């Protein structure tokens, strides 16, 4: 019996070493998962209803990327290139930014139509994974800080008090359920950074504590591979955390330089292991959104993002992030439990003064990015944020959670009364800071980011958690034995232990209730439906699959209708395009990503399609001349475009019907011109110049293409008809804010409109002054927003015909902010300019257009292959000339003509040009992501070098131990 008892006692520590962490990790996963499931059920989010978890950018951007990824997984797409990414574009950088997470392997089991369901499951998996990763860091750092081996660390962590382990579980859940994770989860790829950040910090700690390098190497490299954007932030956080721990650890004196060298080597090799992702992506971004990046971006970041007194209020419960930069509300809400714990760090005498100073410096630096725009821009990779302010919010919250964890566990080292007082002081500091911030915003700024009742709720939560933590510090000490040892055994009771259990239960209940409340506040913005997405995609497939093909089966679509309209008023594209056509493998203009080649964006801007913004390119209205040059074979519009015929075989999409463009050139055509144009701010002049050059004509030929009509302000007689109300009476009034113009045509032809004073080109992130445009009383489109800065087709007119054009501002208080800091108001953009300045109108001479198109050498072009990343054709050139392929120029293209390599040139600064000779030419173009091969070489070399280094270090250590 004694032997059996002794054996049982011996097994208990081993059993606890496995059971304790298993219970903790299971709890860290189960609590956020359960809260999310309950919130989904309450709000009717799939799988508990038809509401989709998609919000913000998810339905218009990421959902379509996942649909494309599903096709690639099943062999129906190319990971490196897609002809359907706008007019065509490289895809590897898009993949590495949005889709390279290992969680996304789950997409194999879904279809493009069921992507909303996939996103729900990814959300339910990734958010609990954030908690599990954070718990791993907190346990490794604070429950076994001095452990020399992993086995010893596991045993020490398992032996820690249950209350300590429970506190770390709750803090980990607070990190996972923060508003950054829930509010910014629409950028679901950023959650990989939230997961990898604590893993990387644990790697830093292990490197400093026991010279273990593999954890940091794997975590940093993995963060880059899974999402290089947040991976950059993770690496930057690792540097800051290393300096923080280096300043604290006095035992490293004399060894700091060696420790710094080891850390630098590991981080350098980890970045090297990520070079296969970083190098191709960097090269791609230099031609896209990254063209605006660099140290120069910091020069324009002047002033403060917000008053420092307003910062505490940002952490209040229920505060939802403002996605636009104008809203200026970052996602940094976190549990009041974590905030009180972080505040206690600075009042806790169990933590050395040196350590508290170091913690204050680190926390202050992190929080400074909420106030100082240059710091925010550095965290964002030296690219000014266009939306989703303070994208480094997860790093700020992780630092606060880390300080809270150390503080709450350190309270156990203080006498009971002192621990309670210090907890009360720390919580009181946080409560006072929040109250002062709220009062400042309410009584000085007269604005709060949340309702008054939410401010009161946050104050109650801060006070409640302060009381609970202080009470647990007092009662927990008594239950543990600090006071019980002085009490005679006969008089001892279990009251302290029972009180501890009760307080813990209250704390957990308060925490779960708080997180459930905030989760529904963050996810209540979900308005799109699962079925709506599938219906829109299916209707688009029905239309696109029935379009009549052009020459050699080539199809390029100009679609004026919105692809994704579920939940949108009117379903327009005035705020930018989406990517639903990406899944249909058709060449279109619409593409929305941060990685699109800037040269094609600039070309489309010059031709009057869309302005250059991070929000992509789009097709809003038929653009007759440019459509012909760019080979637009099919136009989907709710009215008949000029020189187009109904496509009888195609299925209409709602009120939008497909039309065949009779003027479209093939994908390739020859020109004896220079294939270059001196672009101006006038898109009509640009179109005429490009057409004349393509036709091999001199500049004088451009003058007969367009005729300017007479443009003037309309008088009351001319506006009465267009302002008629339903009962026939005139509805114009003295307070009418619209401005109306009378446009009288001098010739017959399509009437085209452009609005230079409303389309403000140097406003990079937005469009200008938004107005609704109507022609002869019929609403045509919104203009002036970032997705509606285009030439507008206003119908075909006859000589002498007068057309009434009406512009109505969406809001007379609009103000557009220029890059140089100046502003433009509605008055300055709409009312003050003359009629000729406000409305740039031209009537196209279709006969002249057809004549010039006939001079372009296109009859000898025959497309033999049009695949993702490969174009093959034959071209019988009439003379030595340049073969223009109306596909976006990118550095990754190479070409052969009759099996001989030739240089691919940038024709018209955005298309591909290939020199050919008179007669038959067999042309083939292939695309390979720039930097992919050298990046792979560097990555393999970095991993190999790290492995050799660590194997050699291990052998050296073993030899030393043997001696």
Q: Once rounded to an integer, what is the mean pLDDT over residues 637-645?
A: 92
Worst-scoring range by mean pLDDT, 306-320, 484-498, 591-605?
484-498
Q: How does the average pLDDT of the chain come out, rounded?
A: 88
Distance CA 890, CA 872 (A): 17
Cβ–Cβ under 8 Å, residues 566 and 529:
yes
Residue 705 has pLDDT above 50, yes or no: yes
Q: What is the pLDDT of residues 767-824, one digit of tens each?
A: 899 999 999 999 999 999 888 999 999 999 999 999 999 999 998 989 888 877 788 9
Contacts of 253 (CB under 8 A, 6+ apart): none
Tokens of 166: 């429970």
Long-range contacts of 325-330, Cβ-Cβ distance < 8 Å, separation of 24 or more: 325/385, 325/386, 325/387, 325/389, 325/765, 327/389, 328/389, 329/389, 329/449, 330/370, 330/389, 330/390, 330/393
Q: What is the pLDDT of residue 612?
A: 85
Listed ranges 4-13, 608-617, 683-692; the one with the highest mean pLDDT: 683-692
pTM: 0.91
Contacts of 197 (CB under 8 A, 6+ apart): 133, 223, 230, 233, 234, 237, 394, 395, 398
721 or 917, which is more confident?
Answer: 917
Worst-scoring range by mean pLDDT, 112-116, 425-429, 730-734, 946-950?
730-734
- Chain centroid to CA 105: 20
Q: What is the pLDDT of residue 478?
A: 52
SS (H, E, C) 370-435: CCCHHHHHHHCCCCCCCECCCCCHHHHHHHHHHHHHHHHHHHHHCCHHHHHHHHHHHHHHHHHHHH
- Residue 20, φ and ψ in degrees, nearest 5: -60, -55
Worst-scoring range by mean pLDDT, 227-236, 284-293, 621-630, 935-944?
284-293
Q: What is the pLDDT of residue 483?
A: 43
Edge-to-edge strand list for the sheet holding 771-775: 710-713, 739-744, 802-809, 771-775, 778-783
Q: What is the pLDDT of residues 532-567, one digit of tens each?
A: 999 989 989 999 999 988 778 899 999 998 888 765
Tokens of 656: 């939008």
Strand, helix or coil at 631? Answer: coil
Residue 830 has pLDDT above 90, yes or no: yes
Q: What is the pLDDT of residues 408-431, one digit of tens each?
A: 999 988 888 888 899 999 999 999
Strand pairing report for 749-754 and 792-797: antiparallel
Q: What is the pLDDT of residue 14?
A: 54
Residue 730 has pLDDT above 60, yes or no: no
Q: Once rounded to an integer, what is the mean pLDDT over residues 178-187?
A: 92
Residue 634 has pLDDT above 80, yes or no: yes
Residue 452 has pLDDT above 60, yes or no: yes
């Amino acid at each position: 019996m004694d032997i059996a008892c002794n054996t049982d006692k011996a097994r208990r520590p081993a059993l606890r070493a496995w059971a304790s962490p298993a219970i903790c990790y299971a709890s860290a996963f189960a609590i956020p998962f359960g809260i999310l499931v309950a919130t989904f059920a309450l709000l009717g989010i799939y799988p508990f209803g038809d509401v989709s978890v998609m919000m913000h950018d998810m339905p218009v951007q990421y959902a379509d990327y996942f649909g494309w990824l599903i096709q690639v997984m099943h062999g129906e797409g190319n990971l490196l290139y897609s002809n359907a990414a706008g007019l065509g574009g490289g895809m590897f950088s898009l993949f590495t930014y949005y889709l390279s997470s290992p969680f996304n392997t789950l997409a194999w089991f879904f279809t493009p139509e069921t992507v909303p369901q996939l996103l729900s499951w990814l959300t339910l998996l990734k958010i609990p994974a954030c908690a599990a990763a954070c718990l791993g860091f907190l346990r490794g750092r604070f429950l076994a800080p001095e452990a020399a081996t992993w086995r010893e660390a596991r045993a020490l962590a398992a032996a820690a008090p249950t209350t300590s382990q429970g506190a770390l579980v709750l803090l980990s859940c607070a990190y996972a359920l923060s508003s950054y994770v829930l509010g910014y989860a629409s950028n679901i790829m950023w959650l990989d950074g939230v997961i990898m950040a604590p893993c990387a910090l644990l790697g830093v700690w292990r490197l400093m504590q026991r010279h273990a390098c593999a954890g940091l190497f794997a975590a940093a490299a993995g963060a880059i591979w899974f999402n290089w954007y947040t991976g950059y932030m993770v690496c930057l956080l690792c540097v800051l955390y290393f300096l923080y721990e280096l300043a604290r650890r006095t035992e490293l004196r004399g060894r700091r330089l060696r420790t710094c060298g080891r850390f630098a080597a590991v981080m350098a090799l980890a970045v090297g292991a990520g070079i296969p992702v970083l190098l191709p992506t960097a090269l791609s971004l230099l031609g896209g959104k990254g063209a605006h990046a660099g140290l120069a971006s910091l020069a324009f970041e002047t002033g403060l993002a917000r008053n420092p007194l307003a910062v505490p209020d940002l952490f209040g419960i229920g505060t939802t992030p403002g996605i636009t930069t104008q809203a200026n509300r970052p996602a940094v809400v976190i549990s009041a439990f974590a905030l009180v714990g972080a505040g206690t760090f600075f009042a806790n005498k169990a933590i050395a003064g040196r350590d508290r100073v170091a913690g204050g410096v680190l926390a202050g630096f992190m929080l400074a990015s909420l106030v100082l725009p240059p710091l925010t821009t550095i965290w964002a990779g030296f690219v000014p944020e266009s939306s989703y302010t303070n994208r480094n919010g997860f790093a700020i919250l992780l630092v606060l959670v880390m300080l809270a964890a150390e503080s709450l566990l350190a309270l156990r080292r203080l006498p009971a009364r002192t621990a309670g007082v210090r907890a009360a002081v720390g919580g009181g500091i946080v409560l006072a800071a929040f109250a002062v911030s709220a009062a400042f915003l309410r009584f000085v700024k007269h604005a709060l980011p949340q309702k008054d009742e939410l401010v009161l709720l946050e104050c109650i939560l801060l006070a409640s958690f302060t009381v609970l933590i202080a009470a647990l510090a007092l009662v927990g000490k008594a239950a543990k034995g600090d006071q019980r040892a002085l009490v005679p055994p006969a008089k001892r009771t279990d009251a302290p232990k029972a009180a501890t259990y009760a307080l813990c239960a209250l704390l957990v209940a308060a925490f779960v209730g708080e997180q459930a409340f905030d989760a529904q506040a963050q996810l209540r913005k979900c308005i799109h439906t699962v079925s709506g997405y599938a219906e829109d995609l299916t209707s688009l497939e029905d239309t696109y699959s029935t379009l009549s093909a052009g020459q050699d089966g080539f199809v390029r679509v100009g679609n004026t209708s919105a692809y994704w309209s579920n939940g949108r008023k009117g379903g327009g594209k005035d705020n930018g395009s989406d990517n639903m056509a990406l899944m249909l493998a058709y060449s279109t203009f619409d593409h929305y990503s941060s990685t699109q080649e800037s040269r094609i964006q600039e070309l489309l801007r010059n031709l009057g399609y869309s302005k250059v913004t991070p929000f992509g390119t789009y097709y809003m209205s038929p653009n007759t001349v440019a459509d012909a040059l760019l080979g637009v074979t099919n136009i989907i519009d709710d009215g008949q475009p000029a020189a187009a015929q109904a496509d009888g075989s195609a299925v209409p999409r709602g009120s939008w019907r497909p039309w065949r463009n009779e003027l479209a050139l093939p994908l390739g055509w020859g020109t004896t011109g220079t294939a270059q144009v001196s672009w101006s701010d006038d898109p009509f002049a640009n179109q005429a110049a490009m057409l004349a050059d393509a036709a091999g004509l001199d500049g004088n030929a451009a003058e007969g293409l367009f005729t300017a009509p007479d443009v003037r302000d309309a008088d009351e007689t001319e506006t009465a008809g267009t302002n008629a109300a339903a009962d026939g009476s005139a509805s114009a009034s003295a307070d009418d804010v619209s401005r109306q113009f009378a446009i009288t045509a001098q010739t017959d032809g399509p009437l085209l409109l452009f609005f230079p004073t409303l389309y403000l080109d140097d406003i990079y992130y937005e469009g200008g002054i938004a107005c609704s445009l109507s022609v002869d009383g019929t609403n045509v489109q919104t203009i002036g927003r970032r997705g509606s800065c285009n030439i507008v087709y206003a119908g075909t007119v006859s000589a002498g015909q007068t057309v009434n054009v009406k512009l109505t501002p969406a809001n007379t208080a609009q103000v557009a902010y220029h890059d140089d800091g100046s502003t433009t108001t509605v008055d300055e953009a709409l009312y003050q300019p003359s009629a000729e300045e406000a409305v740039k109108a031209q009537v196209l001479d279709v006969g002249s257009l057809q004549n010039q198109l006939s001079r372009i050498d296109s009859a000898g072009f025959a497309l033999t292959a049009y695949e993702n990343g490969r174009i093959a054709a034959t071209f019988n050139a009439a003379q030595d000339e340049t073969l223009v392929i109306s596909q976006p120029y990118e550095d990754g293209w190479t070409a052969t003509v009759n099996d001989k390599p030739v240089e691919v040139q940038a024709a018209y600064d955005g298309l591909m040009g290939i020199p050919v000779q008179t007669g038959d030419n067999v042309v083939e173009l292939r695309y390979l992501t720039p930097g992919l091969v050298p990046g792979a070489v560097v990555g393999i070399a970095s991993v190999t070098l790290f492995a050799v280094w660590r194997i050699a270090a291990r052998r050296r250590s073993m030899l030393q131990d043997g001696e």
